Structure 1
Amino acid sequence: MTEAVEVAGRSVAAPGVFPVGGRRLVVYVVFDRRGDVDDYIPVALAGLREHAARVLVVVNGKLTDQGRAALEPVSDEILVRENEGFDIWAHKAALDHVGAGLAEFDEVLLTNDTWFGPVRPYGPVFERMGERAVHFWGMTDHAREEPNPFTGKGVLPYHVQSFWIAVRREMFLSEAWASYWRDLPQMPSYFDAVLKHEALFTEHFTERGYAVDVAYASADYPTDHPALFNPDLLMADGCPVLKRRPFFHYPPFLDRHAVIGRQNLVRVAEHGYPVEVILQNLARNVAPKTLNADVGMLEVLPGVDVSYDPERPFRVAVMVHAGSAAAVVRVLRRVGSIPVPFDLFVSIVDDVDVQEVERLVAAAELPQAGRREVRRTPARRGRDMSAFFIGWRDVLRAGEHDLVIKVHGRTPSKRNVNATRYFRRYQLDNLLLSPGHVANILGLFQREQGLGLVFPPPMHIGYATPGRGWHAYRDRGKDIAEMLGIEVPFDGISPLAPLGGMWIARTAALRLLTEADWTYDEFIKPSKGGAELSKVLERMVPLAAGELGFHTRTVLTPEHAAISHVSLEYKVDQLSSTTPGYPVDQIQYLHRAGWMGAGGMVAMTRMYMRTNHPRTMQVLNPVLSPAGRIARGVMRRGKAVVRRVRGIPETKVEQ
Structure 2
Amino acid sequence: MRDRIDEFDEVVIANDTWYGPVRPFADVFEQMDRRAVHFWGLTDHARVEPHPFTQTGYLPYHLQSYWVAVRRDMLASEEWQSYWRDLPEMTSYSDAVVKHEGVFTEHFTLAGFVGDVAFPLLVDSPENYPVMYARQLLDAGCPTLKRRAFFQWPPFLDRAAVVSRWTMDTAEKYGYPVELIYADMARNVAPRVMNAGAALLSVLPDEDVSYDPERPLRTVVIAHIFYPEMTAEMMDLADRLPGAYDVVITTPEAERAAEIQKHLDERELRGAVQVRVLESNNGRDQGAFLIGCRDVLLSGEYDLVVKIHSKKTPQDAPAVGAHFKEQQFGNMLHSEGYAANVVALFQQEAGLGLAYPPMVHLGHPTVGHGWWENKPGFAEWCRTLGIRVPLDDASPLAPYGSMYFARPEALRLLIEHDWSYDDFGDATAYQDGGLAHILERMPSYAAGELRFHTRTIAAADYLAQSYPALSYNLDQLSATIPGSTMEQIQILKRLGEWDYGTSRDFGRMFVALHVPHLRDRLKGVYRRSERIRGALWRLRHPSAWRRG
Greater relative CO (CA pairs within 8 A, separation 6+): 2
Q: Give the match's secondary structure for 2:272.
A: strand
Find the counterpart in structure 2 of residue 453 from structure 1. 354
| 2:336 is the alignment partner of 1:435 | yes
| CA distances 1:619-639 after superposition (whole Å, capped 9, x unpaired) | 4558979999xxxxxxxxxxx
Find the counterpart in structure 2 of residue 254 from structure 1. 157
* Letter paired with 1:233: Q
Cα distance in 1 for residues equivalent to 2:430 and 2:231:
34
- Structure 1 window deviating more from structure 2 (575-584 vs 610-619): it is 610-619
Q: Give the match's secondary structure for 1:320.
A: strand
Matches for 1:195-214 after TM superposition, within 5 Å: 195-214=98-117
Find the counterpart in structure 1 of residue 475 from structure 2. 573
CA RMSD across the alignment:
2.1
* Letter paired with 1:423: F
Find the counterpart in structure 2 of residue 638 from structure 1. none
* Letter paired with 1:286: V
* Letter paired with 1:445: F
Find the counterpart in structure 1 of residue 226 from structure 2. 323
Quote how far apart the aligned CAs of 1:172 are. Answer: 1.4
* Letter paired with 2:153: Y
Contact in 2 for aligned 1:455/1:504 (Cα 8 Å): yes
* Letter paired with 2:307: K
Cα distance in 2 for residues equivalent to 1:440 and 1:617:
54
| CA distances 1:484-538 after superposition (whole Å, capped 9, x unpaired) | 1111111111000001110000111011111111100111257899511111111
Find the counterpart in structure 2 of residue 558 from structure 1. 460
Aligned residue-pair number:
530
Matches for 1:130-145 after TM superposition, within 5 Å: 130-145=33-48
Quote how far apart the aligned CAs of 1:268 are. Answer: 1.0
| 2:387 is the alignment partner of 1:486 | yes
* Letter paired with 1:173: A
| CA distances 1:69-100 after superposition (whole Å, capped 9, x unpaired) | xxxxxxxxxxxxxxxxxxxxxxxxxxxxx234
Q: Give the match's secondary structure for 1:394.
A: helix
Contact in 2 for aligned 1:452/1:505 (Cα 8 Å): yes
Q: Give the match's secondary structure for 1:375.
A: strand
Contact in 2 for aligned 1:458/1:500 (Cα 8 Å): no
Contact in 1 for aligned 2:222/2:306 (Cα 8 Å): yes
| CA distances 1:283-323 after superposition (whole Å, capped 9, x unpaired) | 01100000000000000000010000001110000011121
| CA distances 1:103-162 after superposition (whole Å, capped 9, x unpaired) | 121111100111100101110011111111101100111111223222334322111001
TM-score of the superposed pair, with normalisation by structure 2: 0.93
Find the counterpart in structure 1 of residue 318 from structure 2. 417
Q: Give the match's secondary structure for 1:452.
A: strand
Find the counterpart in structure 2 of residue 91 from structure 1. none
Contact in 2 for aligned 1:324/1:352 (Cα 8 Å): no
| CA distances 1:599-624 after superposition (whole Å, capped 9, x unpaired) | 12221111111111111113455897
Find the counterpart in structure 2 of residue 125 from structure 1. 28
Cα distance in 2 for residues equivalent to 1:544 and 1:458:
18
Quote how far apart the aligned CAs of 1:248 are. Answer: 1.0
Matches for 1:140-159 after TM superposition, within 5 Å: 140-159=43-62
Q: Give the match's secondary structure for 2:457.
A: strand
Contact in 1 for aligned 2:14/2:65 (Cα 8 Å): yes
1:582 to 445, 470, 484: 484
Q: Give the match's secondary structure for 2:247.
A: strand
Quote how far apart the aligned CAs of 1:562 are. Answer: 1.3
Cα distance in 1 for residues equivalent to 2:442 and 2:80:
49
2:191 to 270, 281, 288: 288
Cα distance in 1 for residues equivalent to 2:130 and 2:235:
50
* Letter paired with 1:120: R
Contact in 1 for aligned 2:46/2:125 (Cα 8 Å): no
1:308 to 211, 219, 223: 211
- Structure 1 window deviating more from structure 2 (423-432 vs 516-525): it is 516-525
Cα distance in 2 for residues equivalent to 1:270 and 1:481:
37
Quote how far apart the aligned CAs of 1:476 are. Answer: 1.1
Cα distance in 1 for residues equivalent to 2:528 and 2:170:
52
Give the direction of change, closer, same or farther, for the CA distance of 1:289–1:393 in structure 2 (3 Å limit): same
Q: Give the match's secondary structure for 1:554.
A: strand
* Letter paired with 2:25: Y
Cα distance in 1 for residues equivalent to 2:151 and 2:227:
44
Q: Give the match's secondary structure for 2:83.
A: helix
Matches for 1:361-400 after TM superposition, within 5 Å: 361-366=264-269, 369-400=270-301
Find the counterpart in structure 2 of residue 299 from structure 1. 202
Q: Percent identity?
A: 45
Give the direction of change, closer, same or farther, for the CA distance of 1:198–1:548 in structure 2 (3 Å limit): same
Find the counterpart in structure 1 of residue 235 from structure 2. 332
Cα distance in 2 for residues equivalent to 1:99 and 1:535:
54
2:173 to 264, 270, 285: 270
Q: Give the match's secondary structure for 2:277.
A: strand
Cα distance in 1 for residues equivalent to 2:279 and 2:325:
24
Give the direction of change, closer, same or farther, for the CA distance of 1:219–1:303 in structure 2 (3 Å limit): closer
Find the counterpart in structure 2 of residue 606 from structure 1. 508
2:369 to 433, 457, 468: 468
Give the direction of change, closer, same or farther, for the CA distance of 1:216–1:479 in structure 2 (3 Å limit): same
Q: Give the match's secondary structure for 1:188.
A: coil
Cα distance in 2 for residues equivalent to 1:384 and 1:432:
19
Cα distance in 2 for residues equivalent to 1:458 and 1:411:
18
Find the counterpart in structure 2 of residue 8 from structure 1. none
Cα distance in 1 for residues equivalent to 2:288 and 2:150:
36
| 2:87 is the alignment partner of 1:184 | yes
* Letter paired with 1:155: Y
* Letter paired with 1:471: W
Contact in 2 for aligned 1:319/1:388 (Cα 8 Å): yes
- Structure 1 window deviating more from structure 2 (166-175 vs 544-553): it is 166-175
Contact in 2 for aligned 1:138/1:164 (Cα 8 Å): yes
Quote how far apart the aligned CAs of 1:185 are. Answer: 1.0
Quote how far apart the aligned CAs of 1:178 are. Answer: 1.3
Quote how far apart the aligned CAs of 1:224 are. Answer: 4.1
Q: Give the match's secondary structure for 2:486.
A: helix
Quote how far apart the aligned CAs of 1:416 are. Answer: 1.4
Find the counterpart in structure 1 of residue 401 from structure 2. 500
Q: Which runs of 5+ in 1 are unaligned?
A: 1-97, 629-655
| CA distances 1:543-598 after superposition (whole Å, capped 9, x unpaired) | 00001110000011001111111000000000001111111111111111111012
Q: Give the match's secondary structure for 2:43.
A: strand
Cα distance in 1 for residues equivalent to 2:313 and 2:406:
23
Contact in 1 for aligned 2:431/2:437 (Cα 8 Å): no
Cα distance in 2 for residues equivalent to 1:423 and 1:589:
32
